[in-house]
Structure 1
Amino acid sequence: MTTLLIYSKPVPLTVNFPSMAPMTLSQFYDFCQVNQELRIERTATGEVIVMPPAFSDTGNRNFNLAVQLGIWAEQDQTGL
């Protein structure tokens, strides 16, 4: 097995596997299982998108944003 280390900003990263394309559902499942620390998605066209895990700073920002959105939706009574 080949391990590829990718250091990137916390934005989605598209990884192309031309020698494996198109991956079957079983191959994609196996790929996800050996990379459980990553958030992996596959598009309708077969592209594999690997997103870095949300770290505590990102998690806190996301939580605060969700709280503010929830409070606004309750006060505005138009939302969610």
Structure 2
Amino acid sequence: MNPLILNNPQSTPITNEQFYQLCAAKRDLKLERTAKGGLIIMPPTGGETSKRNSDINFELNLWNRQTKLGITFD
């Protein structure tokens, strides 16, 4: 799935505070902003991508446990 990008007209830009409030109100959505102020709504990753991410995280965490070089994050 591709992200949905909403290009906000320059006449009605969304402020940082408005974006923060939107993110706080819609915590279940992955929201981002473009350099020009557009709003990006990221779709859920889905089964295949989620499985691949889980496999990568597992391998990274296993390697880190053996090397003890730091901590890992998802």
TM-score (norm 1): 0.56
Cα distance change of structure 1 residues 20 and 56 upon mapping to structure 2, 3 Å threshold: farther
Say whether the 8 Å CA contact 2:14–2:37 is kept in structure 1. Answer: yes
The one-letter code matched in structure 2 to 1:78 is: L
Matched with 1:78 is: 69
Q: Which runs of 5+ in 2 are unaligned?
A: none
Q: 1:50 aligns with which of 34, 37, 41?
A: 41
- 2:44 counterpart letter in structure 1: P
CA RMSD of aligned residues (A): 3.1
**Cα separation, 2, equivalents of 1:32 and 1:52:** 17
Structure 2 residue matching 1:17: 3-state secondary structure: coil
Report the TM-score, using the length of structure 2 for normalisation. Answer: 0.60
Out of 41, 53, 56, the position equivalent to 2:32 is: 41
